[in-house]
Amino acid sequence: MTTRRIRRAAVAAALAAGVAACSAPGSGADGGGGSAASVVIGVSTEPDTLSPLLGYGKDGNSKIFDGLLARDADLKLKPALAAALPEVSDGGRTYTYTLREGVKFSDGEPLTARDVVFTYRTVLDDRTNNTAKSELDAVQEVRAAGDDKVVFRLKYPYAAFAARTVLPIVPEHVAGEQDPNTGSFNTEPVGTGPYVLTNWSKGEKLTFKANPHYWGGAPKVKTLTMAIIPDDDVRATRLRSGDLDGAVLPPNLAATFEDDENRRTYEAKTYDFRAVTLPTANEVTGDPAIRRALDAAVDRQAMVDKILDGAGSPAYGPLPGDDPWFTKDIVRPHDLAEAERILDEAGWKPGKDGVRVKDGRRAAFTLLYPSGDKVRQDHALAYASDAKKAGIEVKAESATWEVIEPRMKDDAVLAGFGSVGDPDFGLYTLLHSSLAGDGFNNMARYDNPAVDEALDAGRRGQDPAAREAAYDRLQRELVKDPGYTFLTHIDHLYVLADRWKGLTTQREPHEHGFASGPWWNVEDWQPVS
Amino acid sequence: MARLAGRRALFAAPVLTVVTFGVFAIAAASPFDPVKAYAGPAALGADQETLDRLRDNLGVDRSFVTRWWDWLTSALTGDFGHSTVMRQPVAQVIGERLGWSALLCAVAFGVAVLLGTLLGVLAARRPGSVTDRAVTSLAYGLEAAPVFWIALLAVWLFALQWGVLPAGGLTDTASEHVTAGQVASHLVLPAGVLAVSQLPWFALYVRQGVADALAEDPVRGARARGLSERTVLLGHALRCGLLPVLTLIGSRVPELITGALLVETVFSWPGIAAATVEAATAVDFPLLAALTTLATAAVLAGNLLADLLYGLFDPRVKFSDM
């Protein structure tokens, strides 16, 4: 061996050692390396506020707070701050909750019925800038009966009301001293939940510590960090570098972790649908024949396969196919011939340029989609191309919500919605004619007396069988006169290091990331031996 | 010198007032709806009554002139109002973030100026040499590369491939305390990327300035007198060649701020830049006005700094003439 070669080898060895020494120790690179008692999650959006009075955690799953009730993995209601499910009396107009004994806020003060009453009254106060106040519209009065009983009086019998009481409860002795809109409670919350916020570095991360005095037992995961990383690629990169234990990712990036044996991908089924609104006022989209033809002409399965990479399912209505409330036999095939037959029968005859015409009117309309949303854009383009095969011209056009909103009355919109908890929550606001064009409710201004009747029956009925029959009627009616073309239900994807056992996901609403995902019950996680 | 600074400060007051008025006017004319921005995604599920109630509570329908006057008068008493989008007092929003942005920008700027000058001098020493060509083409290449792209590349290389530096954040994501050591190691990548994006301007200006100076009579005279190459280069040529750079320092401040925005986004750096964008798209008047005032003040201060440096270093310039 010549001197030169020895020297070269020595340099190479030194370099290798140097690089190894530099690689950040203890950063838990390659997943699996970090402690199971600490979890770091990457999410895309930061909450504006952590105050339930302004809407934080209103659907449950807040780490800092608890509601009277909570949901289990199957979204069934279970008691949380209440000792049991509510007693319903007065024909469904009075709900009485008894509080669990011995629950304390993280500052040591006991929870009482007054805190519950304060929370609901403040949310219902017109001066509180809560965006979801209308969800509690049914409440006429809430009052305390002693230290451990809360009584809600409703304006009308409301079967789904119990599902609203997952709303987090705040301590009156802290939040009551401040203006709910601007007070420091927004950033320094105090609750009864499994975790206590220890630090919120705005724009960077939120750090939580396990609450050792949690009434549900001290969590095994001792620290929980939510890192705010808006960019999908950066989030995936930091997950790969071992900086994060888990993250929410779009399908194409989640797929890059498929072969990683230290990480698992979780697909959460959702109520999150993509649909095209077909405005009733528009003379083309308002025509039932056009609506039915479009419904038959769209190839939903192709959208799931091509746009969502298989991470989703075809939507035959607002409820997903495997939901207990879903009417199984409304599943219908992609049938172009049927679409053409419907249009022929209704007098829409093929015109010169291939677009059908009736009474001198072309079967054409504009479909708006929010700019920057790739998934919706792909849906819109696929929809336009499917419609074209049936002789209907759909002009897909991107715009911001500021532009879309005033045009929602006449132009179709590629919309996305979906609520969890009860069919009433999502369906009533989507379809009831009394809410036509009310903000973003019933965007298509759908107006169908049979559907209205079914919605009312579903809302007020107390008997589960009667409610089921009502939602069954509604879904069949919606097939006969589809005011929306439902396209897909979208799965939400999460990639997580494999250091805990028995993780689950809940069925998720349209919004996701912070409260949902496999970490919906991080307080119950158990380390792998 | 003090008189110059004083005059500029006097001049700054009306400029700042006009700028804040402009911010309110432009924000009022923008198509963004403050109510929707306040409600966030929840707006898409809200009914009209809720939106109307929020509109009322937030006082969105008052004219922008009224809001501007209210903001200005309370700002003069030290109350910068309440940021609607952050649900925090404006002073707190800025207080929590400004320091980190300032640290990032200052380090990046320092590195860019020093390294840029060094590279510029190296290149200027022998125009056309290998060093010169390497520095020049590197500088032009970096000038054309988007900051965002450089940042992602840096993350990929240093955090992913080599694993030597953290990919983002102010401290390790799991750590709960902000320590100097952690911040220092997390600062390397974002500040480095920001510095690299600013570096070409300084390198190219210094190279040009020094090369020109080297060809001028005074330098040739110095050489002829037998002074060492080092004295000639650093004492004569660099001093002349640096003059245009001093102007550049002032004018790079706005670019530094926009560059910082992208860098802060990629590296989840909890600075002021992300808040600025959010304030703008959310038509958060109080926050936006305060941030714009800050940015304007930074630009004015940058210009003043450039002029002061010019006066100090260029014997031909007198402060009394400026």
Say whether B163 and A403 touch across the interface (CB within 8 A). no
Domain check: are A505 and A480 in the same one? no
pLDDT tens digits for range B264-320: 888 888 888 778 877 887 788 888 888 888 888 888 888 888 888 777 777 777 777
Which residues from chain A sit within 8 angstroms of residue B150, using beta carbons?
A: none
pLDDT tens digits for range B102-149: 899 999 999 998 999 899 988 988 888 899 999 999 999 998 888 888
CA distances from A466 to A471, A485, B183 (A): 9, 27, 61
- Cα B31 from Cα A177, distance rounded (Å): 37
| CA A121 from centroid of its chain's CA atoms | 26
Burial of A84 (0-12, 13-18, 19+ CB in 10 A): exposed
Please name the residues between 90 and 149 in chain A that touch chain B, using a CB distance below 8 Å.
126-127, 129, 131-134
Whole-number pLDDT of residue A17? 40
Flag whether A197 is in a domain: no
Whole-number pLDDT of residue B281? 77
Which residues from chain A sit within 8 angstroms of residue B93, using beta carbons?
A: 202
- C-alpha neighbours within 13 Å on the C-beta side of residue A492: 25
Which residues from chain A sit within 8 angstroms of residue B169, using beta carbons?
A: 204-205, 227, 243
Whole-number pLDDT of residue A156? 92
Tell me: pLDDT of B42 over 80: no
Q: Is the complex ipTM more than 0.90?
A: no
Which residues from chain A sit within 8 angstroms of residue B162, using beta carbons?
A: 19, 22-23
| Domain CATH for A510 | 3.40.190.10
* Structure-token match 């009474």, residue found: A359
Domain check: are A451 and A510 in the same one? no
Flag whether B62 is in a domain: no
Please name the residues between 221 and 250 in chain A that touch chain B, using a CB distance below 8 Å.
223, 225, 227-231, 233-234, 237-238, 240-241, 243-244
Domains: count for chain A: 3
- Residues 6 or more apart in contact with residue A509 via CB below 8 angstroms: A59, A270, A271, A272, A418, A419, A420, A516
| CA A304 from centroid of its chain's CA atoms | 19
Whole-number pLDDT of residue A10? 45
Flag whether B315 is in a domain: no
Pick from A40-49, A219-228, B151-160, B165-174: least confident: B165-174
Domain check: are A177 and A264 in the same one? no
A526 near B CB under 8 A: no
Flag whether B164 is in a domain: yes
Q: Which of A152, A186, A220 is the last residue of a domain?
A: A186
Which residues from chain B sit within 8 angstroms of residue A240, using beta carbons?
A: 160
DSSP 8-state symbol, A169: P
Whole-number pLDDT of residue A34? 67
Domain check: are A241 and A283 in the same one? no
Q: Could you read off the pLDDT tens digit of each residue along chain A, which spans 529 residues?
A: 444 544 444 444 444 443 333 333 333 334 445 688 999 999 988 888 999 999 899 888 899 999 999 999 888 999 999 999 999 999 999 999 999 999 999 999 999 999 999 999 999 999 999 988 888 999 999 999 999 999 999 999 998 999 999 999 999 999 999 999 888 999 999 999 999 999 998 878 999 999 999 999 999 999 999 998 887 888 898 898 888 999 999 888 898 999 999 999 999 999 999 999 999 999 999 999 999 999 999 999 999 999 998 999 999 999 999 899 999 999 999 999 999 999 999 999 998 889 999 999 999 999 999 887 888 999 999 999 999 999 999 999 999 888 898 899 999 999 999 988 899 999 999 999 999 988 888 999 999 999 999 999 999 888 889 999 999 999 999 999 999 999 999 999 999 999 998 899 999 988 766 778 899 999 999 988 6
A48 near B CB under 8 A: yes
Q: In A145-285, which ranges are E strands? A: 149-154, 195-201, 205-210, 223-228, 246-249, 263-268, 273-277
Domain check: are A93 and A178 in the same one? yes
Please name the residues between 115 and 144 in chain B that touch chain A, using a CB distance below 8 Å.
none
Domain check: are A292 and A400 in the same one? yes
Best residue in A202, A207, A232, A245 for a mutation probing chain B (most B CBs within 10 Å): A202
Residue-range definition of the domain harbouring residue B139: 98-281
Residue-range definition of the domain harbouring residue A138: 52-186
Whole-number pLDDT of residue A513? 61
Which amino acid appears at position A259 of this protein?
Answer: D
DSSP string, B183-244: HHHHHHHHHHHHHHHHHHHHHHHHHHHHHHHHTSHHHHHHHHTT--HHIIIIIIIHHHHTHH
Whole-number pLDDT of residue A177? 92
Residue B104 and residue B116 in contact, taking contact as beta carbons nearer than 8 Å: no
Please name the residues between 144 and 173 in chain B that touch chain A, using a CB distance below 8 Å.
152, 155-156, 159-160, 162-170, 172-173
Flag whether B267 is in a domain: yes
A17 near B CB under 8 A: no
Say whether A186 and B88 touch across the interface (CB within 8 A). yes
In the three-class reduction of DSSP (H, G, I as helix; E, B as strand; rest coil), residue A356 is classed as strand
Flag whether B93 is in a domain: no
Domain check: are A294 and A426 in the same one? yes
Closest CA to A105 of A186, A174, A185, A180: A174
Closest CA to A215 of A49, A70, A424, A375: A70
Whole-number pLDDT of residue A116? 97
| Domain CATH for B168 | 1.10.3720.10
pLDDT band at B322 (very low <50, low <70, confident <90, very high): low
| More confident site: A396 or B52 | A396
Whole-number pLDDT of residue B272? 85
Tell me: pLDDT of B4 over 50: yes
